[in-house]
Structure 1
Amino acid sequence: MTDTRSRALDAAVTLVGEQGIRALTHARVDERAGLPKGSTSNWFRTRHALVAGVTAWIAERERADFAAASGDAPRDADELIDAFSAMVAAETGPFASRSRARYAMFLEGAADPELLAPLLAQRAAFEEWMRALLAGIGITPDHDLTRATMAGLEGLVLHRLTVDPNAEIRPVVARIVRGARVR
C-alpha cells in the first residue's frame, strides 16, 4: 500500500494537472487522496512546502519513468523516432495530467529558484540522456542541437496538451530527428 505522503503527492499532481496551480490546497489534496483532514499538512506544513514537494515529486516520478524506459538504446534513427514518439504519446496520454502539472510548476517556479531547482535538475539529466541517445545513432550532439531537439519534442507535447490532442506524433518526431542529422 502506498504511504500517505505518496498518496498526497500523487493527488496533488493530479489536482494541478487537471485544475491548475490554484487548486492546490491541503484540504483538496486530502480529499482527492482519500486521506483524513490534515494529513497533507502533516507532511507539508505550508503551501510553499506543498508546492516544493509536488515539484520534487514530479521530477522524481519522471526520472523513474525515464530509467524504466531507457532499456536498450536505439541503434538508428528509426528506433530513436519510435522511442521519442512513444515518449510523446505517454506524456500526452497516460501522463498528460503530470505533464500539465510540470508546466504549471515551471511557471510557478519562474520567480522562485528553490521551487524550480528539482525541475531544472531533472531537465539537465534529461538533456544528458538526450545527448547520449543522439550520439548513439551517430549524431554529434552539441549543446544547441540537443536543446533544439528537446524544444521540438517539448513543443509537440505542449501542442497536444493544449491545442490538438490528436495531432500526429511520428511525422513530427521524424522531422525533428532527421533534421538533427543534417548539419
Structure 2
Amino acid sequence: MSAATGPAPAPAHVLRPATRADLPAVLALLADEEAVVDPTTVVVTEAYERAFAAIDADPRNEVLVLLDGAGAVVGCLQATYIPGLGKGGAERALVEAVRIRADRRGAGLGRTLMAHAVTRARSRGCALVQLTSDKERADAHRFYAALGFARSHEGFKLAL
C-alpha cells in the first residue's frame, strides 16, 4: 500500500444464510432493542438449537445474516417461502425478525438487508413479500413504507 492510495477499501456488506456458528450473534440481535448485546453473553438453549436446526433443514425457511466488511454480523432476518393458491399459485415470502445492530442503525443497512431479501424472493419466483411489524414500532413502519411496502391487512394473533 502506498501513501497515495491509502488502505484497501473494506469489502461491501455480504448477505448469506446463517450457520449454527452465527446463532449467538442472531440471538443477540433479536434481544438488542436499544443497546448492543454481546453475543458471547447469549445463552443458546436447547430450544434455540432445535429451532435453528429445523429452519436450517427446511428449504422453505432461512435465517439470513448481513455481515460488515470485517465479517461481523450486523443484521439478520428470517424468510419463509409459502406456497399458495392465490396469485396464480406463486410463492410469497414472509419476512420476520428483521434486526440491525443498535450501534449500526441509521446507516442504510436495513435498506441493504431488505433489498437483498426482496431480490432473493424475486429469484425464487415469489409474487410478493409480506411482513408484519409490532403496532408500537412507528419508526419501523415508516422504514417499511419508504421501501415501498403498503399497509394492506389487519393482523391477528392467538397466543397458545
Normalising by structure 1, we get a TM-score of 0.35
Select the structure that is richer in helix.
1
Higher relative contact order (CA 8 A, sep 6+): 1
Select the structure that is richer in strand.
2
